[in-house]
Homo-oligomer: A and B are copies of this chain.
Amino acid sequence: MKKYVIIVAGGKGNRFGSQVPKQFVELCGKPILMWTISAFHDYSSEIDPIVVLPRNQFDFWKELCQKYQFNIPHRLVKGGNERFHSVKNGLKVIQEHGLVAIHDGVRPLIDQKTIEICYAMAQAEGNAIPTTPLVDSLREISADGKNTHVDRNNYRLIQTPQVFQTQFILKAYEQEFSQKFTDDGSVFEAIYPNAIKLVEGNRQNIKITTNEDLVYAEAILVLKNRKE
């Protein structure tokens, strides 16, 4: 089956206290977004990468690609107001039936095994969402502001890549946007109830949103290099 990956990088860079959007922040010698694209390309050079960026970042990204001699072929698609609209724009350029992974641009530590498992499960079952168990305890906040202990074993943390057979996710993205969509699984589920297939993710595959996350990512990359 033809394999796509839509890499969504909508960051405007507020939390780093800098003008550089977080997807462009340098991590061990190259921008975060390049690590992310490379991870999928390293898994299979047959994967067709679609990179979604705010329109006003296209020129800067092209300059970065030249500067870092980054030459993995990929298509650039302009982002929308919300993540939902960015993904939708990415889906529009898919021409063939196949599998599409949707991945956060700022999750550069995605590992080959998780990519493999997600594509394989989606090929077999229509979709796949990587999850990890909770290490910390969990409390639920109710509408009246009260909070109650809930059993963390009944919950899973959700990551990306979330992988779908193209016909299902294209259909799901025809619906109207809702604020409750925080990931592609929630968009999919609104059309196909009780159909989400969970697979095992990897705790290392963090979303980089703060400077501490960046420090963690550096440490993990250094550790990986030591092992190789």
B154 touches A141 (CB 8 A): yes
Closest CB of chain B to A218's CB: distance in Å?
A: 7
Complex Cα distance A134/B129, Å? Answer: 17
Q: In the assembled complex, how far is the CB of residue A223 from the closest CB belonging to chain B, in whole angstroms?
A: 5
Does B154 lie within 8 Å of A138, measured CB to CB?
no
Give the distance to chain B from A208, nearest Cβ to Cβ, in Å: 10
Q: How far is B30's CA from A189's CA once the two chains are assembled, in angstroms?
A: 48
Q: In the assembly, how many copies of this chain are there?
A: 2
CA distance A168 to B152 in the complex (A): 25
Confirm or deny: A182 has a beta carbon within 8 angstroms of a beta carbon on chain B: yes
With A and B bound together, what is the CA distance between A216 and B140 in angstroms? Answer: 28
Q: Report chain B residues within 8 Å CB of A151.
A: 180, 182
Convert A132-152 into 0s and 1s, putting 1 for each residue whose CB lies closer than 8 angstroms to a CB of B.
Answer: 001111111110001111111
Interface band, chain A: 35 or more
A135 adjacent to B215 (CB under 8 Å)? no
Q: Is the CB of B215 within 8 A of A219?
A: yes
Known A-B contacts A180-B151, A204-B212, A210-B203; A137 and B185 likewise in contact (beta carbons under 8 Å): yes
Q: Are B207 and A212 in contact (CB under 8 A)?
A: no
Q: Which residues of B contact A152 (CB under 8 A)?
A: 182
Say yes or no: B141 contacts A159, CB within 8 Å. no
Q: Across the interface, do A215 and B223 meet the contact criterion of CB distance under 8 Å?
A: yes
User: Which residues on the B side are within 8 Å of A142 (C-beta)?
Assistant: 154
Report how far A140 CA is from B140 CA in the complex, Å.
12
The reply on A72 being an interface residue by CB < 8 A is: no
Q: Which residues in window 139-189 of A have CB below 8 A to B?
A: 139-142, 146-159, 180, 182-183, 185-186, 189
